[in-house]
Amino acid sequence: TENKPDFVGITSTTPLIKKAYHLAALIKDIDSGIPVITGGPHPSAFPEDVLKESAIDCVVRGEGDSAISLIAKEGFSRSVPNIFYKDNGRIISSQIQDDVISDLDSLPFPAYELFDIRKYHQPRISSRRSPLGYLETSRGCYGKCVFCNKNIHGFKIMMKSVLRVVDEMERMLKLGFREIHIMDDIFTADMSRAYAICEEILRRGLKFPWYPRGGIRVDRVTGELLAMMKRAGCYRIPFGIESGSQRVIDVIKKGVTVAQAEEAVGLAKKSGLETECYFMLGLPTESEEDLKKTVDFSIKLDPDYVKFAVTIPLPGTKMFDDMSAKGQIKTRDWSKYNFSSSPKDIYDHDNLTWETIDKYYDISHRRFYLRPDYIFRTALRTIANGTFLAHVKAFLKTRW
């Protein structure tokens, strides 16, 4: 009531959609006349369901940059592409239009100056300095992975120019950010562009820690590129490995090989970069032997950090559609689609029991992190980079 907003916008993923509903209800309790707009992966997948199930007035499907500007000028109207909205009890859909934004350089810089960036902190085990800011240098991903939602940016990749990216980095640093995390789906999709960005960082004499937090495909790196990223301030590379079984990698349409994963992680280590690998347990058609291969492969790769997650078929993915068609999806209670508990109430796996999946999830991190040689090397590395105490605290808080 103090700010009297013209609109309230809420972005939501599937695990958080019930919280978005709750927030919309609170807003309407304060002032029923405030229009509530939502967007993000889940509303984009089920726009009509979101409007029927909540007090939300409008869903923006896909990118919201231009839609929000148009709504501010014209209100909810068929003339605004890619929106669904309520009109006297009916749900109206405007024209669905791709490529609403064709030039990312045309977008204004994020208005970070409106916020107290001194509050933008991350745990020391996942950062070097604070305040820390996020940067988007591209949108979209050409990958066909069955577990990934493409409702927002699609398969086409759009990229900001090299100069625009480094201009944005320089501005963030002048505003007070001391570290930057790049959130692109594939920062190195165009490896020559990624190399040129690093060259421009060095040319301008910008010195700050950064890393491509969104992850790098193992088939989009070279030793030369990784060495240049290291020179330009990058300190860690995350790779989405997913599985140690080539058969499973092919089933999920990752489009890479275990040999490429091994080579990419080796090149990153050789370049002096920290390595981080992500794996999924319970992927479609997976067997217990495949689970063993994944855990064994994580130890063979021996990155600095590893994360195992139990597969969740999220709306908007081919995996969700395939499982729905086969009757494997057990609930559409979206509050259960979170990553903090076993998804055994969400779906039935085609091969594995939940007892088996949960067992491998429980042992995976222990087998990787509780190796004496790993503990010794991590202690030396974190003492050297000043994050030793943060790692000790995280270790003691973890339920092994």
Given a contact cutoff of 8 angstroms between Cβ atoms, the answer to whether 162 and 205 are in contact is: no
The whole-model pTM stands at: 0.91
pLDDT of residue 99: 67
CA atoms of 360 and 367, how far apart (whole Å): 10
CA atoms of 40 and 60, how far apart (whole Å): 8
pLDDT of residue 343: 92
242: which strand partners? Answer: 279
CA atoms of 233 and 213, how far apart (whole Å): 14
List Cβ<8 Å contacts ≥24 apart for 192-195. 193/159, 193/162, 194/225, 194/229, 195/224, 195/225, 195/228
pLDDT of residue 160: 97
By 3-state DSSP, what share of the chain in percent is helix, strand and coil, each rounded to 5?
45, 15, 40
pLDDT of residue 101: 82
DSSP secondary structure of 226-242: HHHHHHTTB-EEEEEEE
Sign, Cα dihedral of 181, 130, 374, 370: negative
Given a contact cutoff of 8 angstroms between Cβ atoms, the answer to whether 295 and 364 are in contact is: yes
The number of residues in the chain equals 400
pLDDT per position as a tens digit, 244-281: 999 999 999 999 999 999 999 999 999 999 999 999 99
Sign, Cα dihedral of 54, 57, 58, 64: negative
Query: Residue 107: what are its φ and ψ, rounded to 5°?
Result: -75, 145
Rounded to an integer, what is the distance from CA 158 to the centroid of its chain? 17
Given a contact cutoff of 8 angstroms between Cβ atoms, the answer to whether 60 and 42 are in contact is: no
pLDDT of residue 52: 95
CA atoms of 71 and 85, how far apart (whole Å): 11
pLDDT of residue 1: 60
Sheet holding 305-310, edge to edge: 236-242, 274-281, 305-310
**Which residues in the chain land under pLDDT 70?**
1, 99-100
Query: Residue 59: what are its φ and ψ, rounded to 5°?
Result: -115, 130
pLDDT per position as a tens digit, 310-361: 999 999 899 999 999 999 999 999 989 987 778 999 999 999 999 999 999 9
Residue 179 token pair: 């570290």
